Chain A
Amino acid sequence: MKKLINKIAGLGVAVCGCGVLSLASIVLAFFGSEKSIQLMATAPALGISAFIALLLILRGGYAVFTTRYHSALLHLGCACVVSGWLMGQVAPYIGGEDKPVKGSMAMVDGDVMNALWEGAYLTNYVGKVPFTVKLDKFIIDYYESSHVDQSAGRMPPIKEYRSRITITEPGKDPYVKNVRVNHPVYVDGYHIYQMSWGQSQNRQGQPVTYTVLQFIRDPGLWFVYSGFVIIFAGILLFCIRMFKAKAILPSSDREVTQ
């Protein structure tokens, strides 16, 4: 058993595995974010990720057995992160239109919606969220105009933009929330993000400012966060071990460590 585990998830495999994954990561950098996301959502990429998670669980589980707790925490933490990511990747195939995992709403003041859309111009319908959202007001705050702005005759940069929304969940009283950049709102399994904004014209040809809110449901998120905590604990133990460890030399050279 020990020999088998060391053969399929031993240090040699780890050295090669980390090296290959590092190179693969660099290759993905050349593809860019969008293509990489598509590539990593394909069946082979998901299969390889699941295999990596299995190896990590095997190594971590064996480390628990041999009381090497730093190794157990590090490998199981990584396995947790990869598994959580995989859960997020397969969620769209399980949820369907009843439980979309990702989509956006482009709204102007007063709009009431529960449908999510995707695509560059938000033209593809993806499903409905189990609550309705009304945009009360979209607000943009600017920095104070500096003398450089004034002499250049331009607007100062944007300090903050936010959407004040009223959420109505079935069987509950409506309530108001502010969605700001860096401050998503959590409603019934969905995080609502202030993604962007823009200017367009309404049907009467008048200029309107619209806001884009993004809705994301990720069932693997807490797995990933738990993985982060476990990895952190593992690295702390690993640090202590590395500080205590003596140099390991071939047997004939041991005297130099005395």
Chain B
Amino acid sequence: MMVKTTLQGGLIYLTMVFFTATLVAFGFKRRTLAKGFWFAGFLAALSSVIWRGIHTGHPPMQNLFEFFLCMAAFLWPLSQLSRWKNDMDTTVKDATLGLIILFPVGFVFSEAVRRLPPALQSPLFVPHVASYVAGYIMLARAALMSLPMFKRSSTKVEIVGADIASRQTVVVGFLLITIGLVLGSLWGKLCWGHYWQWDPKETWSLATWLIYGVYFHLRMKTGLRKPRQLATFLWIGLLFIVLTLTWINLSRMFSGMHNYA
């Protein structure tokens, strides 16, 4: 646990304060104020990402600190998209997700700047990582949107609404992680000589991709007859993502070619 006393740290904590204020304002049913805080939080998160990019001189997607920072800045545009596309207000879920994402950024990960090693100097670096950032966020949101599918008290209309919102979100997330996986393969071929090395991070990513494969096939097989089962697979997918970002990234048990990430 460490507190950052730099401008970067200040921007991160400011974002966290705005996200918390959003939740508090929502709790007191001050929706306009909450929206204002939510947007201010986005501006702070965006400033944090931009400052990191300027400060380091490279796209801020090199390590977990930068990866999570970018994830937090993606949330506001996505919640606006949900409002526009699915007519759903996901501000509380997104702000909570933002706080969960920013906690390790603010208090656990180091912000020390590393100069890019030769392997990371590739035009595929940003699209590969960015599609995973966006994909993981979408899939995390899909899991949150599926929550009414677990409740016994949910009406059928609520279940259908949750299904449509989570399904549309998960399919975009799936598209993005597929792009990430394919770009990673192409980059692996250019950098390491092979498109697939059975590296622990690769195999966990494939496992995640396949879990969403289970979800889509199950969705087609059973329709909405077993909503809880469908939602369970979305949460297993999210569990795999969390494990990929934490245990697989940080444990020595899974050391491999992605070690600098």
A residues apposed to B, CB below 8 Å: 11-12, 14-15, 18-19, 21-23, 25-26, 28-30, 32-33, 36-37, 40, 85, 102, 143, 156-161, 180-184, 191, 193, 195, 214, 216, 218, 221, 224-225, 228, 231-232, 235-236, 238-239, 242-243, 245, 247-250, 253, 256-257
Looking at chain A's contact residues, is the secondary structure mostly helix, strand, loop, or mixed? helix
Q: Tell me whether B204 and A15 are in contact (CB under 8 A).
A: no
Q: Tell me whether B214 and A248 are in contact (CB under 8 A).
A: no
Give the contact-size bracket for chain B: 35 or more
Looking at chain B's contact residues, is the secondary structure mostly helix, strand, loop, or mixed? helix
Residue of B nearest to A156 (CB): B115
**Which of chain B's residues have a CB closer than 8 A to the CB of A161?**
118
**B250 in the interface, Cβ–Cβ < 8 Å?**
no
Residue of A nearest to B183 (CB): A228
State the Cβ distance, A112 to closest chain B Cβ, in Å: 23
Known: A14-B217, A181-B119, A214-B193. A21 touches B210 (CB 8 A): yes
Q: Tell me whether A181 and B200 are in contact (CB under 8 A).
A: no
Residue in A19, A33, A160, A218 with the greatest tally of chain B CB atoms within 10 Å: A33
Determine, out of B32-40, B102-110, B161-169, the stretch whose residues face the partner at the interface.
B161-169
Known: A18-B217, A247-B224, A250-B223. A242 touches B168 (CB 8 A): yes
> Once the chains are docked, how many angstroms separate the CA of A23 from the CA of B191?
28
Residue of B nearest to A34 (CB): B198
**Which of chain A's residues have a CB closer than 8 A to the CB of B255?**
32
**Which of chain A's residues have a CB closer than 8 A to the CB of B257?**
33
> Once the chains are docked, how many angstroms separate the CA of A235 from the CA of B179?
10
Q: Tell me whether A32 and B256 are in contact (CB under 8 A).
A: yes
> Once the chains are docked, how many angstroms separate the CA of A40 from the CA of B216?
27
